[in-house]
């Protein structure tokens, strides 16, 4: 129980950080939201790429790597592609260029869609379900990484939790900013981000439970799966949406800054 309590405590650091980031982004004025969202998404992508390439993959290689790492990475990529395909088929995104107007019109230009359907569609359009789901999965995996570190008894569990919590702060801010940019209310923006953020303590407890005492090949597979999920989300979701909103020298520099921050934290370990 002490092990799971520690995992929960470290995961809760991320939850608190995520809520802070969500509140800051949600209360940004509408004119600030698009620019802020792009900068934050680039920064979060830099952190996520660094977490995969500087932490998970090197640790997996150190534990043995080989076929187990390849299998885990391939399965992780396939899993994220499957999630993406399902969300494209059954969900939608509010990002520019992705939506379509399916309401019917007569020759005079009047819509026959019921008013309550239009209102419902407007509310749902503020949430990018594909991005939110992908980020929730990634944050759950982040939490599991904390749980693995706790189970292994390593001294770096706290620093890993702090680094991933910083990542979550920006991921939650990105989610809230994206929802606000799509026309969502402050409450909706914070609520969606809270859903993403709460995955970290849940993942931390599950990671400590599942990976306690597992064999090295299984642990390597789990790390490979996590690395693939992190890279997929950074490249296929965060950066794609960020470039649709705003692209500039400053946003690209933010991605580099996110990577550099995680690198510094890793060196401090």
* Residue 220 domain-assigned (yes or no): yes
* Residue 8 domain-assigned (yes or no): yes
Task: Tell me the mean pLDDT in the region 61-78.
Answer: 90
Q: Is residue 100 a contact partner of residue 106, using CB atoms and an 8 Å limit?
A: no
Model confidence pLDDT, tens digit, residues 86-127: 767 765 444 443 444 444 444 444 444 444 444 444 445 567
- Total number of domains constituting the chain: 1
pLDDT for 119 equals 43
* Residue 16 domain-assigned (yes or no): yes
Model confidence pLDDT, tens digit, residues 151-180: 766 556 777 788 788 878 888 888 888 888
**In the chain, which residue ranges form alpha helices assigned H by DSSP?**
2-26, 30-50, 57-62, 66-90, 115-124, 129-152, 157-181, 186-197, 199-211, 216-232, 239-245, 249-268
* Residue 210 domain-assigned (yes or no): yes
Rounded to 10 degrees, what is the CA torsion of 24, 177, 16, 233?
A: -150
Which has more pLDDT, 33 or 238?
A: 238
Q: Give CA–CA dist 57/49, Å, rounded.
A: 11
pLDDT for 198 equals 95
pLDDT for 178 equals 80
Whole-number mean pLDDT of the chain?
Answer: 78
Q: Among 260, 244, 160, 245, which Cα is nearest to 200's?
A: 160
pLDDT for 104 equals 44
Question: pTM to 2 decimals?
Answer: 0.69
* Residue 188 domain-assigned (yes or no): yes
* Residue 117 domain-assigned (yes or no): no
**CA geometry: angle at 230 spanning 229 and 231, to 5°?**
95
- Which residues span the domain enclosing 79? 2-25+32-92+127-268
* Residue 208 domain-assigned (yes or no): yes
DSSP letter at 56?
Answer: I
């Amino acid at each position: 129980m002490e092990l799971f309590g520690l995992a929960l405590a470290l995961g809760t650091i991320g939850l608190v950080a995520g809520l802070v980031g969500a509140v800051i982004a949600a209360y940004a004025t509408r004119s600030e939201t698009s620019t802020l969202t792009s900068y934050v998404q680039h920064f979060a992508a830099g952190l996520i790429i660094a977490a995969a390439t500087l932490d998970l993959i090197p640790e997996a290689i150190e534990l043995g790597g080989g076929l187990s790492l390849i299998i885990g990475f391939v399965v992780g990529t396939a899993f994220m592609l499957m999630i993406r395909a399902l969300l494209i088929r059954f969900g939608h995104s509010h990002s520019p260029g992705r939506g379509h107007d399916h309401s019917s019109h007569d020759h005079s230009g009047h819509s026959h869609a019921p008013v309550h359907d239009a209102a419902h569609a407007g509310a749902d359009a503020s949430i990018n379900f594909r991005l939110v789901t992908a980020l929730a999965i990634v944050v759950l995996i982040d939490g599991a990484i904390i749980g693995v570190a706790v189970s292994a008894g390593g001294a770096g569990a706290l620093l890993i939790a702090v680094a991933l919590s910083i990542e979550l702060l920006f991921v939650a801010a990105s989610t809230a900013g994206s929802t606000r940019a799509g026309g969502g209310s402050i409450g909706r923006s914070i609520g969606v981000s809270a859903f993403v953020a709460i995955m970290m303590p849940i993942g931390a407890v599950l990671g400590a439970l599942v990976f306690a005492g597992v064999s090295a090949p299984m642990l390597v597979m789990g790390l490979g799966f996590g690395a693939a999920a992190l890279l997929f989300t950074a490249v296929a979701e965060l950066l794609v949406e960020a470039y649709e909103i705003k692209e500039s020298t400053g946003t690209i520099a933010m991605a580099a800054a996110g990577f550099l921050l995680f690198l510094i934290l890793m060196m401090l370990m």
